Structure formats: structure tokens, C-alpha cells
Amino acid sequence: MEGEPLSALCTPALVVDVDKVKRNAQRMMERCHQLGVQLRPHMKTHKTLECADIMTGGSRRCIVVSTLAEATFYADHGFDDILYAYSLPFDKVERCAALSERLDLFQVLLDHPDALERLRKRPLKGGRRWHVWLKLDCGNGRAGVLHSEPEALQLAQAVAEADGVELTGVYAHCGNTYNCKGVEQIQAVAQETTSFTLQFMEKLKAVGISCKSSIGSTPSCSHPVSDMGKLSEVHPGNYVFYDVQQSMIGSCGLEDVAVRVLTRVVGHCPHRNQLLVDCGWTGISLDGAGKLPTGYAMIEGHPDLKLLSMTQEHGRVEPISGPLDYSKYPIGSLLTLIPYHSCAAAAMHPVYHVHSEGRLMGKWTPTRGW
């Protein structure tokens, strides 16, 4: 289908504008270069080889993943220096060990003494050491040991002193930037997370421990503060695609969003003043419920339409006000959805259709599972 227009695709279909992807990736690289900080891009949004090559500038080094499926997928295709940034799952220690013994640098993350004990009970072969990052909670309120608690320093010291284990770094996710609106709020959270992380690094230094530091989220890394240059690394991921949510936060403009979901009108329902489309929640996800005046997505070129609800394979579209003019939306006509959350929308699709200026260039196939 190379060279054909997007309208040649069967729907629902996730389409990726490769020119926007490259532009978003290049901007992040330049931002990090200006800051003087290492970019360790997160693969969780796209989970493809092609996009990973773009994000790493072809180096195939220094990446973050959220699943062991991703870690193995990238390792199998020549990637190295991989950080599995998920609090160590005890059922996956052996798989982590296999990757640690196979790659030059495979790194795990933990936030509890029991996880450290699991690693100590599984020494690596060949005199290798576990490379461990400590997950720090700097206000995000998800995983991680709270930065201000004595237990955080105690755990860092325990990791640093354990046989067969090396404290490689301290890792914080400032996901609380997702509650922000506008650059000023984003930068306030970025500053707070950076400050808390740097303060923790000073505590480590005071007890003779030296390691890397890393924070990340797409909003904070899209509008970094100067103190982030004092960190070792940053680890954003969504920026390569962006989405409606990021545009609402202030991370990007809608023109930067690189993904769309194409859907076709499959039914007219005048008795409900609605259209039926062939994109249900299996084509775009239910993420974004109640967040947009246009429903679960934005319908490109039709700000007067709302994706009201979805079942597994159907979507209901209606006007925000007034009666529908069905002559504008004949059966079989295409609508283009800009997803609220590109990570969630991408996860619904077995392939992504890549295009440049509306002409198909090929497919990217993501890895799936855990």
C-alpha cells in the first residue's frame, strides 16, 4: 500500500505521521543537549523498533521500558543499556537475571527492602552485579519510597552495601505534571521534583554514596527548568507521539500530535440524532472519559461533533448542539480521531500505519504483553 492515501486503509486504523515523530524526537534531543543532561527515552508509548531508532538517534542505547516484553524485544534486536523502570516484580526475577547476564547493561528498579533481598538470593553468573535504581516518590503518589522518609536513605544504603548489587541511580517520575495546566504549573512541579531529587542526592553524598539521578515525564521534559541540568538523565516517552491530553496540559500544540485513529461512518440514526462509526473502545480505548467537551477524542475538522460513547466495536457520534446534517457524513465516509491518550490508543492496535504528508510509507509492529 506504499504511496497510497490514508483513505485506502481499512478502519479502524492507527496512523502515525513520521515527519511529526522525527520532529518531536529531534526537539527533545536538542532540549536535553542544551540542558547538558542525558536523554533516556521511554519506549512505553509506541513499543516499536523503528520509533526507538528515531528516539535514540540510531544508537540503540540508553532506553527505558515498562515491561519485560519490551526489554526482551529490544534486547533481541541489538539494543543495550536498558532500564526496566518498574518496581521489581518477584515473579520476574529470573527473567531479569537472564537479561542482566546477557546484556552489557540491564538495569532494574526497586522501592522495597524485600526486593533487594530477592536480588541478593539470586546472584548473577560470571561475577556480574545487579544494576539497581532506587524508585523515589517525589510527590507523584504512585510507586516509590517517599523521598523525605528515613527509609529512603536506609534502602539506598542497603543497596549500595549489598554483595553482588550496585546502586546505579535514583529514579523519580513526576507524573503529577499531568494535573497541570500551562507552562508555569508544569515548571513548578518539575522544579519541585528536581529539587527533591537533588536534595536526596546530597543525602547520599553525605554518607559517601555516588550514583546517577533521573526524573521524567513528557510535560516536565517539554518545558524543563534549568536545575534539571544538574541531573544525570531524564526519561520522557509520550512526547514522540503527544496527544490531546498533552495539548491540554500545555506540553505541546495540537499540531505536534503525530497519531490519529481513522474510523468510518457505518450507520445513520436520525431517531437519536447520531452517527455510528466503526471505532469502539477496542480502537481507541476508554481513556479520557469526561475530560473533553468532544467526548473520548477530538474529531479533526469537526469541532461541532462529539464521540459520545463507545461499545466494543461501535462509537456513537452526535453534534454538540443542533440536528445532524447527514448529507455531510455519508455511509462509508472517513472521520479522523485525535486520541486523548496516545499510549492507550496505540495499545489497542497490532500495527501502526506510517505516513508522510498523507501517503502511506509502511507499517510499524509493536511488541505486546508483559
How do the pLDDT tens digits run along the chain, 370 residues long? 789 999 999 999 999 999 999 999 999 999 999 999 999 999 999 999 999 999 999 999 999 999 999 999 999 999 999 999 999 999 999 999 999 999 999 999 999 999 999 999 999 999 999 999 999 999 999 999 999 999 999 999 999 999 999 999 999 999 999 999 999 999 999 999 999 999 999 999 999 999 999 999 999 999 999 999 999 999 999 999 999 999 999 999 999 999 999 999 999 999 999 999 999 999 999 999 989 999 999 999 999 999 999 999 999 999 999 999 999 999 999 999 999 999 999 999 999 999 999 999 999 999 999 9
Q: What is the pLDDT of residue 105?
A: 98
Indicate the Cα dihedral angle 222, 228, 234, 240, nearest 10°. Answer: 10
pLDDT for 175-221, tens place per residue? 999 999 999 999 999 999 999 999 999 999 999 999 999 999 999 99
Domains and CATH numbers, the chain: 79-238 (3.20.20.10), 254-364 (2.40.37.20)
Q: Closest Cα partner for 202 from 170, 162, 229, 159?
A: 170
Q: What is the pLDDT of residue 56?
A: 98
Q: What is the pLDDT of residue 290?
A: 87
Q: What is the pLDDT of residue 261?
A: 98
Cell of 146: 517517599
Cα distances from 223 to residues 31, 246, 249, in angstroms, run 9, 12, 11
Give the count of beta carbons closer than 10 Å to the beta carbon of residue 157. Answer: 16
Say how far apart CA 113 and CA 92 lie, in whole Å.
17
Tell me the Cα Rg of the chain: 22
Within 8 A by CB and 6+ apart from 248, the residues are 181, 291
Contact 42, 64 (CB under 8 A): yes
Cα distances from 258 to residues 32, 336, 340, in angstroms, run 21, 13, 12
Q: Closest Cα partner for 263 from 351, 349, 342, 336?
A: 336
Cβ-based burial of 183 (10 A; exposed 0-12, middle 13-18, buried ≥19):
middle
Looking at residue 65, the DSSP 8-state letter turns out to be: E
Q: What is the pLDDT of residue 1?
A: 79
